[in-house]
Amino acid sequence: MLSIKNIHASIDGKQILKGLNLEIKPGEVHAIMGPNGSGKSTLASVLAGREEYEVTEGSVEFEGKNLLELSPEERAKEGLFLAFQYPVEIPGVSTTNFIKAALNEKRKYQGLEPLDAASFLKLLREKAALLELDKSLLSRSLNEGFSGGEKKRNEIFQMAVLDPKLTILDETDSGLDIDALRIVAKGVNTLHNADHSIIVITHYQRLLNYLQPDFVHVLMNGRIVKSGGKELALELEEKGYDFIKEELQESLTA
Amino acid sequence: MDTIRTEYLEERFKELQSAQTGSALQNWRSEGFKNFSKLGLPTLKNEEWKYTGISRLFTKDYTIPSKKDNVIDRETVDKAAIPGASGMEHLVFVNGKFNKDLSSFQSNDGFEICSLEEAFNGKYHEDAEAYFNKSSLFIKDGIHALNSSFMNESVFIKIRKNYHATKPFYFDHIFDTTSNHLLASPRILVVIEENANVQMIGSYYTHGSMDSFSNEVMEIVVKENARLEYYKIQNDTPNGSHTGTTHIRQVGKSYVHTVNISLNGGMIRNNTDIIMEEQANEAHMYGLYFLKGNTHVDNHTLVDNTKPHCFSNELYKGIIDEHATGVFSGKIYVRPDAQKINAYQSNKNILLSDTGTINTKPQLEIYADDVKCSHGCTVGRLDDEALYYLRARGINKDLAKSMLLKAFAEEIVMQIKIEPLKEYVEVQISDRLQLAD
Ligand SMILES: Nc1ncnc2c1ncn2[C@@H]1O[C@H](COP(=O)(O)OP(=O)(O)OP(=O)(O)O)[C@@H](O)[C@H]1O
Ligand SMILES: [Mg+2]
């Protein structure tokens, strides 16, 4: 589904990703962990198509297409969804109108008619219920004045409506209280299926307890330096990143 | 460069005066023309006209309607009117002059409409003497004097005590330029008595391919516990230029809400003055100029706090595309006695093209020490973060831009409290942005 090969990316002339490789098959859940500033959000931005980032080397294939050639909106319509670490507040654009525009743009891309008002509202209501999202948020300006947790929940709500093939969760768990974490995890699990893959960027084990990743990767200094199963996350939680740094040191001196 | 011609105006002025001997406005016009002759057209050296080269409009000769040429066919009236006009007190002005036959309003006990001459000569002479032409004490330039020189078929409106108007008053200005360039000088005096409540709308429509220059002066007096909403809508053709003063005096503790929407036209200058003459007056002023082509819109606002405890809030927003120009100059005076006032002002602009221009200038003159004033202005491009967020959800770049611009404008549009008018403005903006619904 997604094949990242030797990706190098920089922003404002500063090299952040330095030869990153990752393969994701349909239905897999991959966790990416790593110290602050290691390049996790940068990877997410490069995949979503943020124009400030320059890819200087490497390739990304998504569902057989050269992802890097596509605009951010084309990537989204091809089925890529990034739940932002810091969702943007957009005064004056209501959450409902925004989601309607996004959904209809995707349907147009797929050669489908726009959803009629009744079906759209039904879909909205159904997904809002899944995320236990307060309906008053839907008529408010997008993310404006939303609490940290509401913003994150709103991201997963959008994911639920847009039904992507690949979702990247960038620290969706941070800022969520215990109940919200459970609700968000339940939402993600409901949408996760054999065709829908997930990349979870996180610092903590707690979301992974719910999502049960197939693979855990450690990103450091712009590269994936270690990969393992879900037990790797537990090991990191216990020991921190030092033991990996030491391993790296050893392999370098060996 | 084309030369600027104003000499012929003297002849036109004399023609008008001799055709109107005995009119109560004779002396006012004479004084106006005397001032105009002295002041001349404002030049860029005049601080108040620094960014608006109005004299450029005088490189051609204008026809000035001196006789009763204030007729136009019904079809044009229908075309000029904003949607919903049939549900309003619809006052039609052709070439700056009131036309009662084309107008449709239902007189009742709540208000009366007559000519300014009738007001001066009849039972409203006290109002006329007390309130007429007081704006000239604030706007002392040749453009205001030019209006006074050529005002004709001007109108006086009295809104009586306690009258809560159910229909908005709609000043529908139509300029016939099918055969010549036209200089029109609409002049209106409105007195809103105690406890009355009215909404008013002004719009401007040039019919014909020659140029129109409408130079309006509107004076509105708002008395104790009255409430005024005034909406000025500018969506004329590029050959329609306009200068207008809306001079609002809050002579009693009252509430004023103004919205100025400029979408299309030639060179436009709006003066919106609020003079707070009583304690605890409240005013809200909004403006949106969404411009393209070569349209030039200059908004000059004034809030003059002369008494304590007044409150004013002002928000003007601009979107400038193509070769258009937006000018904002917001003046706040706080007179020495005006303690404990709150005055807020903000001007926000988005520049969409490299060829567009924005000039913005807040001016605060504060002579009292216990006041809360704030002002701010921004000139920027669309928010890249927001644009990226929308695109990352699959919304095309153009549509995403349009959605953000619409949202930017919406903050002003939602201040229009007349539903059909608000809808009309929304449709105009959506069309400009190629947005559905
Ligand atoms: N415009 C920029 N110019 C220079 N450096 C930048 C710029 N934007 C981001 N960076 C740097 O890129 C590095 C990687 O940032 P990134 O946001 O990808 O980290 P992260 O792994 O997501 O960290 P966190 O866990 O704190 O979210 C950081 O050192 C950051 O300071
Ligand atoms: Mg990050």
Q: Domains in chain A, please, with CATH? A: 2-253 (3.40.50.300)
Secondary structure letter of residue A246 according to DSSP: H
Task: Enumerate the H helices of chain A as residue ranges.
Answer: 40-48, 72-78, 95-109, 117-130, 136-139, 148-162, 178-191, 205-211, 230-239, 242-253
Among residues B257, B278, B299, the one where a domain terminates is B278
C-alpha to C-alpha distances, A206 to A28, A34, A168, A177, B355, nearest whole angstrom: 19, 15, 17, 11, 54
For the CA of A52, the closest atom of ligand 1 is: 1
Beta-bridge partner residues of B358: B326
And the tokens for B117?
């001459």
pLDDT at B71 (0 to 100): 82
Check residue A243 and give its pLDDT: 87
How many helices (H) and strands (E) chain A has is answered by: 10, 12
Is residue B162 situated within a structural domain? Answer: yes
pLDDT, chain B, mean: 95
| DSSP assignment string, B157-174 | EEE-TT-B-SS-EEEEEE
Is position B292 within any domain? Answer: no
Is position B369 within any domain?
no
Determine the residue of chain B that is closest to A71 in CA distance. Answer: B391
B173/B97 Cα distance (integer angstroms) = 9
Residue A8 has pLDDT above 60, yes or no: yes
Return the residue whose CA atom lies nearest to atom 31 of ligand 1. Answer: A37
Q: Give the Cβ contact number of residue A51 at 10 Å.
A: 12
Q: Provide DSSP, B300-368.
A: EEEEEE-STT-EEEEEEEEEE-TT-EEEEEEEEEE-TT--S-EEEEEEEEEE-SSS-EEEEEEEEEE--
| Contact by Cβ (8 Å): B40, B6 | yes
Hey, are the CB atoms on B394 and A162 less than 8 Å from each other?
yes
Tokens, residue B369: 């020490």
Q: What is the pTM of this model?
A: 0.93
Phi, psi of A115 (to 5 degrees): -70, 135
Largest Cα separation within chain A, whole Å, is 66
Burial class (CB in 10 A: 0-12, 13-18, 19+), A187: buried
* B228 in the same domain as B90: yes
Work out the average pLDDT over B372-379: 94
Integer-rounded Cα radius of gyration of chain B: 21
Spatial contact of B218 and B151, defined as CB atoms under 8 Å apart:
no
Q: Is the CB of A13 under 6 A from ligand 1?
A: no
Question: Could you tell me the two tokens for B12?
Answer: 């036109």
Task: Name residue, tokens 């525009």.
Answer: A101
Residue linked to tokens 């927003």: B317
pLDDT at B92: 97
Q: Which residue from B214, B162, B217, B172 is spatially nearest to B190, judged by alpha carbons?
A: B217
- By the 10 Å C-beta count (0-12 exposed, 13-18 middle, 19+ buried), B232 is classed as buried
Closest CA to B345 of B378, B308, B373, B306: B373
Mean pLDDT value across residues B271-288: 98
Q: If you measure from the C-alpha of residue A247 to the centroid of ligand 2, how many angstroms do you get, rounded to a whole number?
A: 24
Residues in a beta bridge with A215: A30
Q: Which residues constitute the domain of residue B198?
A: 3-278
Q: Provide the pLDDT confidence category of residue B107 given band limits of 50, 70 and 90.
A: confident
Residue B123 lies in a domain: yes
Q: Is residue B210 assigned to a domain?
A: yes
With contact defined as beta carbons under 8 Å apart, do A182 and A130 qualify? Answer: no
Residue B366 amino acid letter: I
Q: Binning pLDDT at 50, 70 and 90, where does residue A249 land? A: confident
Given this model, what pLDDT does residue B346 score? Answer: 97
pLDDT in tens, B286-316: 999 999 999 999 999 999 999 999 999 999 9
Q: Assess if residue B347 is contained within a domain.
A: no
Backbone φ and ψ for B231, nearest 5 degrees, come out as -120, 125
Interface of B with A (CB under 8 A): 383, 385-386, 388-397, 399-400, 403-404, 406-408, 410-411
Which candidate, A196, A210, A186, A237, places its Cα nearest to that of A33?
A: A237
Longest dimension (CA), chain B: 72
CA distances from A226 to A206, A220, A254 (A): 20, 9, 17
A113 lines ligand 1 (CB under 6 A): no
Structure token digits, residue A152: 């994150």
Stretch A121-132: mean pLDDT, rounded? 93
C-beta of residue B215 within 8 angstroms of C-beta of residue B184: yes
For chain A, the first-to-last Cα distance in angstroms comes to 36
The pLDDT score that the predictor gives to residue B406 is 96
Average pLDDT in the B142-154 region?
96
Specify the pairing of strand A215-220 against strand A223-228. antiparallel
pLDDT digits (tens, 9 = 90+) for A14-56: 999 999 999 999 999 999 999 999 999 999 999 999 999 999 9
Sign of the alpha-carbon dihedral angle for A113, A116, A121, A126:
negative
- Residue nearest (by alpha carbon) to ligand 1 atom 8: A11
C-alpha–C-alpha distance, residues B218 and B282, integer Å: 20
Does the model's ipTM exceed the 0.90 cut?
yes
Does residue B291 contact residue B319 with C-beta atoms inside 8 Å?
yes
> Which residues of chain B does A87 touch, with a Cβ-Cβ cutoff of 8 Å?
389
pLDDT computed for residue B108 by the predictor = 87
- The answer to whether A50 touches A219, Cβ cutoff 8 Å, is no
Given this model, what pLDDT does residue A245 score? Answer: 87
Q: Of the candidates B255, B278, B301, which is a domain's last residue? A: B278
Which residues have CB under 8 Å from A23's CB, separation 6+? A2, A3, A4
Question: What pLDDT does A254 receive?
Answer: 61
Q: In angstroms, how far is the first alpha carbon of chain B from the final one? A: 46
Q: What is the rounded distance in angstroms from the CA atom of residue B41 to the CA atom of residue B61?
A: 15
- Residues of B with Cβ-Cβ distance to A49 under 8 angstroms: 391-392
Give the percent of chain B with pLDDT over 70.
Answer: 99
Inside any domain, residue B326: no
> In this prediction, what percent of chain B has a pLDDT beyond 90?
94
Does residue B21 carry a pLDDT above 90? Answer: no
Domain assignment present for B141: yes
> What would the pLDDT profile of B384-421 be if each residue is shown by its tens digit?
999 999 999 999 999 999 999 999 999 999 999 999 99
Parallel/antiparallel/unpaired status of strands A90-94 and B187-192: unpaired
Is the pLDDT confidence value at B1 over 60? no
CA B381 to chain A, closest CA, distance in angstroms equals 15
Q: What is the pLDDT of residue B437?
A: 59
**DSSP state, B414?**
T
Domain match, B271 and B388 both = no
Q: Are B152 and B183 in contact (CB under 8 A)?
A: no
Which of B230, B257, B278 terminates a domain? The answer is B278
Distance CA B208, CA B347 (A): 34
Q: Considering its fold, how many domains does chain B have in total?
A: 2
- For B126, other C-beta atoms within 10 Å of its C-beta total 10
Please identify, by atom number, the ligand 1 atom nearest to the C-alpha of residue A43.
Answer: 18
How buried is B381 (Cβ within 10 angstroms: 0-12 exposed, 13-18 middle, 19+ buried)?
A: exposed
Q: Give the pair of three-digit tokens for residue A246.
A: 């030491």
Whether residues B118 and B247 share a domain: the answer is yes
Tokens of B176: 């016939």
The mean pLDDT of B320-326, rounded to a whole number, is: 98
Q: How far apart are CA A37 and CA B229, in angstroms?
A: 54
AA identity, residue A153:
R
Position A116 scores a pLDDT of 94
Q: Which of A51, A82, A93, A139 to mutate to test the interface with B (most CBs of B within 10 A)?
A: A93
Ligand 1 centroid–CA A199 distance in Å is 18
- When pLDDT is averaged across residues A59-63 and rounded to a whole number, the result is 96
Please answer whether residues B175 and B240 qualify as being in contact, where contact means their C-beta atoms are separated by less than 8 angstroms. Answer: yes
Residue B182 near residue B152 (C-beta atoms within 8 A) = no
* Res. A207: pLDDT tops 60: yes
